[in-house]
Amino acid sequence: MKSLLLILILTLSFQSSSKADDIRDFEIEGMSIGDSLLDHFSRDEILKQIESNKIMYTYLTDKFGHVNKFDGLSKYHLLSFYVKKRDKNFIIHSITGSMNHVDNIEICHQQMKSISKEFSNIFKNAKKETFNYNHAVDKSGRSKVREIRFKLKSKDKVRIVCMDFEETLRIESNWIDGLDITVQTNEVTKWFQDR
């Protein structure tokens, strides 16, 4: 019953005010692509996180920086953002909302299906693809990923991902099994592909 209620709450929370194929109309915790991260962080906080996250996220380049938000969230345990490091307004180019599902990955899969139906209504003209693969960080092949991806005509993407890490690796690395919802511009997608 708890999981059904959570799915209903999550589904209703994703509805956007306008049903359009523009990721800028979609909000996660009240934040959208194109918003300034300065509305939620000070300039110093952003610059400090961008610098400290370079150590943890070795793929970061001079183009984009990574910022996390843990406080003041109602549905997620973490939000992650990509912003251009040299942008004085720190415009958001990617948002990821993350939820824990360490104890039961099947709940994650149920939520993924429900959210996917809602996204199909929001992003009516998007190309929808489903993937199942082994997580690249686990050479044993025991860490599994299930992903549903919506590719818009603008080439911007919306992704729903359930990650189920092999338990020993998860504990040793202090990682979390769970659901990620990502909204990102094509520019971020190309940056990931080119690195």
Long-range contacts, stretch 18-25, CB < 8 angstroms, 24+ apart: 19/121, 19/122, 19/124, 20/122, 21/123, 21/124, 21/125, 21/126, 21/152, 21/153, 21/154, 22/152, 22/154, 23/152, 23/154, 23/156, 23/158, 23/183, 23/184, 23/185
Looking at the chain, the number of H-run helices and the number of E-run strands are: 5, 7
Among 1-5, 18-22, 43-47, 102-106, whose mean pLDDT is lowest? 1-5
pLDDT class for 167, splitting at 50, 70, 90? Answer: confident
Three-state secondary structure call for residue 138: coil
Average pLDDT across the chain, whole number: 85
- Contact call for residues 72 and 39 (beta carbons, < 8 A): no
Length of the chain, please? 195
Closest C-alpha to 194, from 100, 99, 18, 63: 63
Determine the pLDDT at residue 20: 54
Three-state secondary structure call for residue 65: strand
Taking 60 as the threshold, does the pLDDT of residue 19 lie above it?
no
- In 12-143, DSSP assigns E strands to 64-69, 78-84, 92-100, 127-134
pTM above 0.85, yes or no: no
Residues 37-67 pLDDT 10s: 999 999 999 999 998 888 776 666 778 999 9
How does DSSP assign 67-81, residue by residue?
Answer: EEE-TT-SS-SEEEE
Among 19-33, 55-69, 73-87, 173-187, whose mean pLDDT is lowest? 55-69
* Residues 63-73, mean pLDDT to the nearest whole number: 92
Residues 23 and 191: their CA atoms lie apart, in Å, by 18
